[in-house]
Every structure is written in structure tokens, then in C-alpha cells.
């Protein structure tokens, strides 16, 4: 059995256990018992349960992004030797010189949460420092900041303003999905987006362009 097959075996066991009991009550012992492996095998691949949860998200999202987008617009973290860095987590889809259209990314992001709805709703309920919520914020904050710098394309904006915009829009995008994921009556997380599917980036562009006009009356 390859390393990837072993990791996916652990993933499947963990997700199945989360359907049987609350995620917080699932222990490493429960997982290894269900897989027929041992604790050493688990810890060889995953530092702890929080890392396992993050790995599941990155695997699910990475596969979905590869199915939807060409390789040239996929974005990866700097390879730090961690298995998780092999999966794309974002895109850079240009729609103009200083414009980005990431509406399809948000659709894929939603589909990932929908694919394991009960599991992700439980994982996102935790807001601790090592939780999936915190992981996602730390993952996407630099990505959104990079998008802002692309939209600026050499135009000036104080670094404090860039940080403010990145934190605000990262929080807004993630909180929307976190909140919707925990509403089982809502089948499709962004079904109501309609013409506003790219609202994060179109709003960023508008705000930045207005700020530039105000700087140069």
C-alpha cells in the first residue's frame, strides 16, 4: 500500500467515525482501530488530529481545483517538504490588466464543503488556535493580500491599508462559508450569489480604484 493510499484509508476512517459520533470525541485510538493500523502509522503521516483535518480539506480542494482549472492558473504554497503543499489551494484567474475573476474558485470552494457537509460543519465549529477556521484564515490571508497587490499593479497604497483590506475580505469570505456550512437546510452554499459570485474581488477592485482616484484628484 502506497503512502497516499494509507493516508486516504485514515481519512475515510476518520470521516466515517465523525458520522457516528461528534468529531471532538473521535480519538486517534478510534481511528487506528478502524483502519487496522497502529498509532505509529498514524503519526508517521499526521502530526495530530488537527493536521489530519487540514490535510483532508487540502486534499479535497486540491482534487477539485485540478478537475476544474488548467495547471497554469493553480496556486501552490512554497514547497516546504510537507505533503500538504503538493495540493493547489487557490487560483489566479485574470480578467483584465488589474482585474481578477475568482467566481469559479468560490464555486469549487463551496462544493468541497458540500461534499462532506457533516464533517466540515463539525470541523468548522471549532474556533481554537489550531482549528480548521484558523488554518483557513492563515492560508488565505496572504493569498488575498497577493490579489490586492495584483490589483494595485504598482500603484501606491499604504501597507497598513493593504493589511486591513486583506484581513477584512479574507474574514468575510471565510465566515460566509463557515456560517452557510452549518445550515443544513441550505443545500448549495452559494446558490444565491447570482451576478455577485465574484463580489470579493470586484469589491476590492472598486474600493482600490476609488482610493486611487481620491489620492489623485
pLDDT of 181 = 95
Total-model pTM? 0.95
pLDDT of 217 = 52
- φ, ψ of residue 96 to 5 degrees: the values are 175, 180
As a whole number of angstroms, the distance between CA 65 and CA 49 comes to: 24
Which sequence spans correspond to the domains of the chain? 70-215
Could you tell me which residues come within 8 angstroms of residue 14 by beta carbon, excluding any fewer than 6 positions away? 26, 31, 49, 52, 56
Give me the chain's average pLDDT, please: 95
- φ, ψ of residue 75 to 5 degrees: the values are -115, 140
Helix H or strand E encompassing 119 = helix 117-125
For residues 94 and 83, the model is more confident at 94
Over residues 30-55, the pLDDT tens digits come to: 999 999 999 999 999 999 999 999 99
Over residues 111-136, the pLDDT tens digits come to: 999 999 999 999 999 999 999 999 99
Over residues 138-179, the pLDDT tens digits come to: 999 999 999 999 999 999 999 999 999 999 999 999 999 999
Amino acid at each position: 500500500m502506497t503512502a497516499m493510499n494509507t493516508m486516504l484509508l485514515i481519512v475515510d476512517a476518520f470521516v466515517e467515525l465523525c458520522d457516528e459520533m461528534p468529531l471532538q470525541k473521535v480519538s486517534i485510538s478510534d481511528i487506528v482501530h478502524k483502519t487496522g493500523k497502529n498509532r505509529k502509522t498514524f503519526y508517521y503521516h499526521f502530526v495530530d488530529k488537527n493536521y489530519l483535518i487540514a490535510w483532508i480539506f487540502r486534499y479535497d480542494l486540491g482534487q477539485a481545483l485540478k478537475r476544474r482549472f488548467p495547471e497554469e492558473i493553480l496556486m501552490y504554497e512554497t514547497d516546504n517538504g510537507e505533503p500538504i503543499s503538493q495540493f493547489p489551494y487557490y487560483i489566479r484567474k485574470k480578467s483584465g490588466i488589474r482585474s481578477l475573476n475568482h467566481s469559479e474558485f468560490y464555486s469549487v470552494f463551496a462544493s468541497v464543503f458540500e461534499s462532506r457537509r457533516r464533517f466540515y460543519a463539525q470541523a468548522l465549529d471549532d474556533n481554537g488556535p489550531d482549528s480548521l477556521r484558523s488554518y483557513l484564515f492563515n492560508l488565505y490571508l496572504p493569498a488575498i493580500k497577493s490579489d490586492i497587490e495584483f490589483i494595485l499593479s504598482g500603484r501606491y497604497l499604504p501597507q497598513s491599508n493593504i493589511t486591513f483590506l486583506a484581513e477584512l475580505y479574507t474574514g468575510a469570505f471565510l465566515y460566509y462559508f463557515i456560517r452557510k456550512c452549518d445550515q443544513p437546510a441550505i443545500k448549495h452554499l452559494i446558490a444565491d450569489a447570482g451576478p455577485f459570485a465574484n463580489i470579493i474581488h470586484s469589491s476590492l477592485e472598486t474600493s482600490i480604484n476609488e482610493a486611487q482616484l481620491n489620492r489623485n484628484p
